Chains A and B, each alone.
Chain A
Amino acid sequence: NSEIFELKAELNSDKKEKKKEAVKKVIASMTVGKDVSALFPDVVNCMQTDNLELKKLVYLYLMNYAKSQPDMAIMAVNTFVKDCEDPNPLIRALAVRTMGCIRVDKITEYLCEPLRKCLKDEDPYVRKTAAVCVAKLHDINAQLVEDQGFLDTLKDLISDSNPMVVANAVAALSEIAESHPNSNLLDLNPQTINKLLTALNECTEWGQIFILDCLANYTPRDDRESQSICERVTPRLSHANSAVVLSAVKVLMKFMEMLPKDLDYYGTLLKKLAPPLVTLLSAEPELQYVALRNINLIVQRRPEILKHEMKVFFVKYNDPIYVKLEKLDIMIRLASQANIAQVLAELKEYATEVDVDFVRKAVRAIGRCAIKVEQSAERCVSTLLDLIQTKVNYVVQEAIVVIKDIFRKYPNKYESVIATLCENLDSLDEPEARAAMIWIVGEYAERIDNADELLESFLEGFHDESTQVQLQLLTGIVKLFLKKPTETQELVQQVLSLATQDSDNPDLRDRGYIYWRLLSTDPVAAKEVVLAEKPLISEETDLIEPTLLEELICHIGTLASVYHKPPSAFVEGSRGVQHKRLPGSAGSGESVDSPDTGSAAGVSEAPPAVIPSQGDLLGDLLNLDLTPPTTTGPPPPTSGMQMGAMDLLGGGLDSLVSLLYTVDSMAAGFGAPPAVMPTSFNAPVSGGLDDLFDLGGGVGMPMGSYSPPKTVWLPAMKAKGLEISGTFARRSGVIQMEMTLTNKAMSVMTDFAIQFNRNSFGLAPAGPLQVLTPLSPNQSIEVSLPLNTVGPVMKMEPLNNLQVAVKNNIDVFYFSCQYPISMLFVEDGKMERQVFLATWKDIPNDNESQFQIKDCHLNAASNKLQGSNIFTIAKRTVEGQDMLYQSIKLTNGIWVLAELRVQAGNPNYTVSLKCRAPEVSQSVFQSYEAVLKN
């Protein structure tokens, strides 16, 4: 059009002044979005000028249109090359900066030479601009940058004398390193660290961020180096730029791990960290949000830093909602006996605010306080009751959900409030609240006069309820039935049939069938199962898993820290990310706090973890000779109460069951061990399959329980010609005593029988010894004798010693043998991570024993161990050492916790065992050795 035409004429004018005015007009048109790309050749022609303003304008134009006019853009190359040698450093820098912005492949090659010169320019301003240009070029053509050796030049710039050059080199390298995670681009050594620390004091705020983030990747050699870096980084805490402050916090949080805790400086540093964090909270809400997400991590790792600063987390009513919710979370984390009164008063205040989400979270927070700070529980409960009295629907519902948890934590303490809760039954319309209320009614059915009516009222709309409510209702009514069998028979039949016949939800049906079967076959067992004493819920259920927390602490200030997810979740595509770990502290080996890190809290959604009560079971082992053995089978029906229940069920349920033939046949499977392997997923598979799975690379497929080779237990000489060799194995959860009986005498042997003496774990034959045909001379027979663990108990020396008597038509013979204790490791021996942590801490250190396993060469130790029911709960790697945290449960309920340390290339493993009954440790260790070496 005419405007373009006019401009074209002006651009080609001979008069300098006119040319300049024309370029200005072109730029003005460009910035307001008019397409002036048609003028490309004319504008580029103006580039060769001494007039700086004109040059800048042409550069602006070039950056904008080069991409769409790549062929034309080549015309500009010559000028760039020339400008990069201009005597004025500002022009050289401007040229190199603009060059990198021209994202045209064809051109980039021509720009390598000028860039190389600029990287070594005598003027720091040019070098610093060139450093960024390398990152730009890398973005366009990574291969070219590597081939040209620019990365090495960039690395050299880290040692530049000018702080701004250092900062930009670090920034460029950090950006490039993100696409080359393993390239060691930022290979830090004490010399470079020193350069960085010097540059830190003198460069711009942005440069300080880059340098601090880079420093955070370094691992100091010892605590002294660590301290000296901390000392030089601490002044950054007073910077006005909050990003500088948070990056400094990251470096300090990481490096202080290495400082001995008794060092004066350690305490000083802790004190210095609080004020800057508090200050971040007075900034704009967006900054506050990022700060709060990070403080949440810091508080979990080092609660002592902010323990006196509770008040700054109090919510202002006009804080944005995202700030309010974060503050609330931190308030709960900081809640302690010292400040709980204040916190509760605040939470109660929040519960009357307008924002529904916030109010709900505040009510929940009150419950969490009750569970966390025992002394405050009573106060919390009465606060919750006050809130229930407000009758605000969602407040009531949240309050009931948390009160359920409080009951779980403090049983038999606050049940007096149940009446108040029941009054609000009708107003509950959220599944979680309904389920919680039903749980409460079922759990305390014996104290609620009209429990049956209450539960019945829910049954009407059973199929409209959510699964959560249905399951809870089923369990609740079964509990009620077991407690008040006489009046509730009809109700239980109703719910069982609703759950099994009318529902297509598999979970609900299965649970229904299991209850049904239990009730009809063994009501006493049903009672033991359904009304079993509940384990207490643990204090904090929403802690970040310690290994993740460690990693996140190393990434304070990043997106990862905002989302509380590992950085690998953030990098686009498959670029790997190296996992960062906190360095171990000086003096104490990393094993000291390893159980912390090995365990893992479930993420917030996870159900509250449970702590097994071990008292009784322990008692059994410790008072071996004192008490008659307890059996888990049905005891003789002596008590009138139990008789009653049996009768009732016999009459009521059996008839129902017989009607449901299909159910019965299906449930029949529960009685005998199943034929194949479904009950326990680590049941051994046949040899061939086993090998196949092995080849599969050991992807978590267990390899079957270890069984030692047979040895001679009873030599023929000692037993009038009968030789017995044997071993033990565990198959599908059943202990088998496998024997070869050989007749080395001259006459036929018949009438075999076997008996065990009392032993440490109550092992006893589960049936008679099955030798059906008479054993002829020189004949051998293989027998498998299933064992149970409900026999009489006596502590043996060694613990796993078993005295056996075998009888035949000739005589009675005695022998003793030792079974590997791994036979007693049960299939459900995998502990919850959190429980593991709690238990590990709970067991006194005196009970810990450590063993060495020498010459072990294995790739998949944990798979192999899992085959023998030694379960790996967590694994972490510290300096090339794999730490496996494992749990084992014995048939008598004793838990053994283990930490297995494996160093790559070192055939010697270390295993530490912790158990409340330390006498089993030696045998357990032997099993470890046997399993690992076979």
Chain B
Amino acid sequence: RYVRQLQRLQLLFSPTAADARGAREFVEEAAQDFARQHPDVVLYVSPHSGPGPAPVLRAEYLNGTVRDELIASKTSEEIVQLATKLANQSGLDIIRIRKPFHTDNPSVQGQWHPLTNKPSILTVQGPRLQPQ
């Protein structure tokens, strides 16, 4: 069954700042619908009064990664899209994947070494012959 990797979304913004207007509109209108559509994500709204750092949407995932997204001067719809994008992601780092495959047991018959196709007289040690 599908387990959503997003644990919680924290909306940190200041209610008086000018660039947090989209965040305020999101909280007033769309936050409840978003919370209802994603029941396994906890949405925290923490307004801090007075001038502070830029409004940020903080996403925490089940594997511990914390991702901050700036929502300064964004409209409410853009914040909804951003939140759904974060909700559909997993917490893995967003870097280039070197190989699209991985195995813990790459070899079933035993990996090749320089003595695989040589006659076994070179590797096998028989019982030591006693001097007659």
Chains A and B are bound partners: no
* B residues with CB within 8 A of A: none
* A residues with CB within 8 A of B: none
